[in-house]
Amino acid sequence: MTRFLITRRAGRAVAALLAAAFIGGSPVAAETVLRVVPIADLKNTDPHWTTAGITQNHGYMVYDTPFATDTNLEPQPQMVDSHTVSNDGMTYRFSLRPGMVFHDGSPVEARDVVASIKRWAARNAGGKALMERVARFEATEDLTFELHLARKFGQVIRVLANPTLPPFVMREEEAATDPFTQVTDVIGSGPFVFDKDAWRPGDKVVYRKFAAYKPRPEAADGFAGGKVVNVDVVEWIYIADLNTAAQALIAGEVDILAAPSYDILPLLERDPNVGVDVLDRIGWMGHLRPNHLFPPFDNPKARQALQLLIDQNQYLAAMVGNPDFQRECHSIYMCGTLLETDAHAEPWRRPDIEKAKQLFAEAGYSGEEVVIMQPTDFPVSSAIALLTAQALRDVGVKVRIDAMDWSTLTSRRTSKEPPGRGSPGWNLFGTAWTHVQFGSPLTNIPLVSTCDRKNWFGWPCDEKTEALRTRFIEALAPDEQQRLAQQIQERYFETFPYYNTGQYLQPIAWRTNIMNVPRALTLQVWGLEKR
């Protein structure tokens, strides 16, 4: 295999000079700066390590992906130039687009892509299912790599094109890092360079246009196509109070508000200089996650009891409070998706306080304190925490709420220590997931119930769920997939790895001088213009 003339280790000084040239080392008087109030504060920068939405958004700024989905959620080549599949469906051969470079000036090679996909797959439900069926996955030339299956898997390209938790491509050096250890060097090949020196957690994140980025020739379409950048600098301005953030948008101090609060929407909609829209038309599902490792929710009866305290209409009123943006939904795959079903949900739709008390007693609850993490800067998750705390208190469960910002929560939820005073351990937290993840047992990360404690935070363990997921993943006929999806949902309502608290749409608001906002599921800034 040929090698780049300047090796990565020996060429750091040269690469730094190249990178400086690529991002324009000296300031330009006519710089176009886009100011965005993001969905949360950025504290973790490794998008393989965490599922946090803010880190995934950061990933799209800095990294690129092998494949991407268009506005119809169909996979399209992105870093990949072309690929072929053998007649028996067992061998995939990929060629990368030539001329792509990382932010340090080193070339993007197939070995970077292979190492990145392997690292990502260790933490991603779809990726893990894929790699479990792979016999060999390797770079064959500088710009080519091959994937040889041991067992048939028809979802290879769709898994690699995951739009909400994609396999962002890092340099091989970073991708060699243990998947459960954060990468700290943020060097991608995406349309923006992360300005680490300007990063102030709790205040601001700065990204600078990467002049050496090579967009695809096609027009941008969702997450796919040519990511043409029309601004020089993007600043994420973190404003914890969303009313203050809305006033900053109205005053023109910021250009985009990624997740305005629902109660401020009428004010924004009355301003002729502000537009409000929804990018994801199916939406998000409010999500309550219990810790399966420690009492009381290590006991399935306690988890069943908690479900009997959840009234989705009450949760939606607290999370959203606007009928135009919310709906009750008891399908674990979310409503509006191909696998939507309400099978086996009927006994669990409405609260039953007395039955919940009985189940907590049968679970052996004896007054231990339940620790709920509440992110004060994530309104949906904050509402879930507060409502759950009150519901538990109403049936005699002792509750402690630990308030923090969302980024702190995404770090603390990794703790497997027992909850207690002075411990980072926890029992419950709320979040939200998109239909892209929840729409299939293949990609539904919190549904994964392996018993190795390497699954998603909360660590449910259920061999029957995993056996059903395996059968679903290997089923080819749609009617067989539908049947298995219903069986998985039936098992869900027996074990409760998590709880759905209601489906909702998340609006976005921007100044009307911001043009051509991409119709992706989340805010992306390639293609848009600031006039």
Residue 211 lies in a domain: no
Measured CA to CA, the distance from residue 352 to residue 502 in angstroms comes to 18
- What is the predicted pLDDT for the residue at 8? 41
- What is the predicted pLDDT for the residue at 519? 85
- What is the predicted pLDDT for the residue at 15? 42
Q: Give Cβ neighbours of residue 241 (< 8 Å, ≥ 6 apart).
A: none
- What is the predicted pLDDT for the residue at 372? 98
Nearest to 370 by CA among 303, 316, 462, 445: 303
What are the residue ranges of helices labelled H in 137-283? 156-160, 172-175, 242-250, 265-270
- What is the predicted pLDDT for the residue at 12? 37
Measure Cα distances from 198 to 24, 193, 194, 211 in Å: 16, 12, 9, 19
- What is the predicted pLDDT for the residue at 30? 67
- What is the predicted pLDDT for the residue at 130? 96
| Pairing of the two strands 33-37 and 256-257 | parallel
Residue 426 lies in a domain: yes
For residues 59 and 164, is the Cβ–Cβ distance under 8 A? no
Q: For the chain, how are helix, strand and coil distributed in percent, rounded to 5?
A: 30, 20, 50
- What is the predicted pLDDT for the residue at 4? 30
Residue 347 lies in a domain: yes
Residue 140 lies in a domain: no
Give every strand in the sheet of 274-278, ordered side by side. 192-194, 204-209, 233-237, 33-37, 256-257, 507-511, 274-278
Q: Per-residue confidence of the chain (531 residues) as pLDDT tens digits?
A: 333 333 343 333 334 433 444 444 444 446 999 999 999 999 999 999 999 999 999 999 999 999 999 999 999 999 999 999 999 999 999 999 999 999 999 999 999 999 999 999 999 999 999 999 999 999 999 999 999 999 989 899 999 999 999 999 999 999 999 999 999 999 999 999 999 999 999 999 999 999 999 999 999 999 999 999 999 999 999 999 999 999 999 999 999 999 999 999 999 999 999 999 999 999 999 999 999 999 999 999 999 999 999 999 999 999 999 999 999 999 999 999 999 999 999 999 999 999 999 999 999 999 999 999 999 999 999 999 999 999 999 999 999 999 999 989 999 999 999 999 899 999 999 999 999 999 999 999 999 999 999 999 999 999 999 999 999 998 878 899 999 999 999 999 999 999 999 999 999 999 999 999 998 889 999 999 999
For residues 384 and 428, is the Cβ–Cβ distance under 8 A? no
- Count structural domains, the chain: 1
Measure Cα distances from 11 to 103, 106, 213, 357, 402 in Å: 13, 9, 20, 66, 48
Residue 238 lies in a domain: no
- The range of the structural domain enclosing residue 362 comes to 284-504
Domain CATH code at residue 306: 3.10.105.10
Question: Torsions phi, psi of 180, nearest 5?
Answer: -100, 10
Residue 385 lies in a domain: yes
Residue 524 lies in a domain: no
Residue 516 lies in a domain: no
Q: Which residue has the tokens 């080519």?
A: 144
Measured CA to CA, the distance from residue 211 to residue 228 in angstroms comes to 10
pTM, rounded to two decimals: 0.86
